[in-house]
Amino acid sequence: MPGIHDSSLKDSRAGRIVIAYSGGLDTSVAVPWLAERYGAEIVAVTMDLGQGAELEEVRDRALASGAIRAHVLDVREEFARDFVLRALKADALYEDQYPLATALARPLIAQKLIEIAEIEQATAVAHGCSGKGNDQVRLEVTARALNSGIRIIAPAREWGMTRADEIEYARQRNVPVPATVESPYSTDFNLWGRAVDCGALEDPWHEPPEDIYTLTKSPRECPDEPAYVEVSFERGVPTAINGVAMPMLDLIASLGTIAGANGVGRIDLIENRLVGIKSREVYEAPAAVVLHAAHEELQRLVTTADLDRLCRDISQKYADLVYNGLWFTPTREAMDAFVDKVQERVTGVIRLKLFKGDCRIVGRKSPFGLYDQSLATHDAGDMFDHAATAGFIKIWGLPVESTAKKAPKKRKSLVVSR
């Protein structure tokens, strides 16, 4: 009976709604809209996920839009440690390419939203997602996992306003309209990467224009000499670049700068959304692309063939799970336990060459590396037992030989003649 919930909230003048506030047009309009529609007090929450926005300005805008309070939380450490790092260790790339920056941030945003709602004794939380994307699913599934007693409201899914209507609505109420409304693109940005869609990118034949990129240089403008970086890992955690130890946040920032300056990290993907449609997304994730390449390579060096195959299966499942908003589930926890077991050996250094948009592995070493030069070499010092392979091949090929001997005769009539 959805109506009961609705009206009780509408009637209660003391109702309080906590909104995930980005400072963009949708959430700015949502503040007065929610206040009017539900007669509620609106509390804004904005999170610093490394998007580089001036969050003091965002706080002021929330208050200017009519919020009674505006919380600003710096969640960068937590995001890097508890979300990004886990996805990196799992080699989770959605549809083999997208490092999941937006998707990984949503469970954290929803978690903080619920925490603030509990502190504020709010009856509901709200977000600015439209009805077409994945983020609404991720936020709402997470919120329900953490506190199913708090109601979730999605104004932009309900109000049926066009962009022009929203701007008009904001002007009528003296809500400051953010400068970003001029951009034809929709973007999302945090320390793990940037996503851009809409505008000219909706035509999948159309090459992304240079001006959508902010983190990566065009290969045309990159240095004519390659940059070499050595990334060290300890138990799957990146710990140093070129021998200089750094905390995760600094490491991501430094690596992002070097990779971006060499044009590395651009991804142009037709992806399968959870809501059933295909969409064209352009990503920029310079640090993520380098770290994923390095981690994958190191893990392959230290795992046997069967474990490596199993890890790849898990990687894909992990990426789908994150993409589909199922972070706070026993499935994810179980996969993390598996991944962490594998990480016990993922210690070593990977050397990469970054050049005009290209990221190549050129060297690897690990105390747990399973590559044994005395077994692999074709030169002197070869320790491989060549004679033993004759017997191995005999047994290995036995079923092939047996089935081939018993093969049914090919029927002539099936041959298509001209």
Q: Which of 16, 76, 106, 332 is catalytic?
A: 106
The beta-strand segments (E) located in 50-98 are: 69-74
Helix axis angle, 25-38 relative to 163-172, nearest 10°? 60
Q: Does 140 bind ligand ARG (CB under 6 A)?
A: no
Q: Does 284 bind ligand ARG (CB under 6 A)?
A: no
- Cα separation, 304 vs 327, in Å, equals 28
- Cα separation, 300 vs 236, in Å, equals 12
The beta-strand segments (E) located in 35-95 are: 41-48, 69-74
Q: Does 134 bind ligand ARG (CB under 6 A)?
A: yes
Q: Which stretch binds ligand ARG (CB under 6 A): 21-29, 192-200, 218-226, 247-255?
A: 192-200
Q: Does 113 bind ligand ARG (CB under 6 A)?
A: no
Contact letters for ligand ARG, residues 171-190 (x by CB under 6 A)? ---------------xxx--
Q: Does 110 bind ligand ARG (CB under 6 A)?
A: no
CB atoms within 10 A of CB 227: 15
Q: Which of 170, 135, 172 is nearest to 28 (CA)?
A: 170
The answer to whether 308 is a known catalytic residue is no
- Cα separation, 96 vs 30, in Å, equals 36
- Cα separation, 377 vs 247, in Å, equals 38
Q: Does 28 bind ligand ARG (CB under 6 A)?
A: no
Torsion of CA 305, 310, 312, 318, to 10 degrees: -160
- Cα separation, 280 vs 290, in Å, equals 22
The answer to whether 224 is a known catalytic residue is no
Q: Which of 61, 76, 91, 135 is catalytic?
A: 135
Min dist CB 269 to ligand ARG, Å, is 8
Q: Does 103 bind ligand ARG (CB under 6 A)?
A: yes
Min dist CB 197 to ligand ARG, Å, is 4
Render 131-147 in DSSP notation, one character per residue: SSSSHHHHHHHHHHHH-
The answer to whether 106 is a known catalytic residue is yes
Q: Which of 90, 19, 20, 104 is nearest to 324 (CA)?
A: 104
- Cα separation, 366 vs 418, in Å, equals 59
The answer to whether 358 is a known catalytic residue is no
Q: Does 195 bind ligand ARG (CB under 6 A)?
A: yes
Nearer to ligand ARG, 41 or 197 (CB): 197
Residue choice 28, 65, 102, 111 for contact with ligand ARG (CB under 6 A): 102
Amino acid at 278: K
Nearer to ligand ARG, 184 or 363 (CB): 184
Min dist CB 137 to ligand ARG, Å, is 9
Min dist CB 287 to ligand ARG, Å, is 17
Q: Does 51 bind ligand ARG (CB under 6 A)?
A: no
Q: Which stretch binds ligand ARG (CB under 6 A): 166-174, 191-199, 217-225, 312-320?
A: 191-199
Token pair for 299:
């893990």
Q: Does 281 bind ligand ARG (CB under 6 A)?
A: yes
Could you tell me where the DSSP H helices lie in 178-280? Answer: 248-261
Nearer to ligand ARG, 15 or 178 (CB): 178
* Residue in the structure block whose two tokens are 């670049």: 241
Active site residues: 26, 106, 135, 186
Contact set with ligand ARG (CB under 6 A): 102-103, 134, 186-188, 195-197, 281
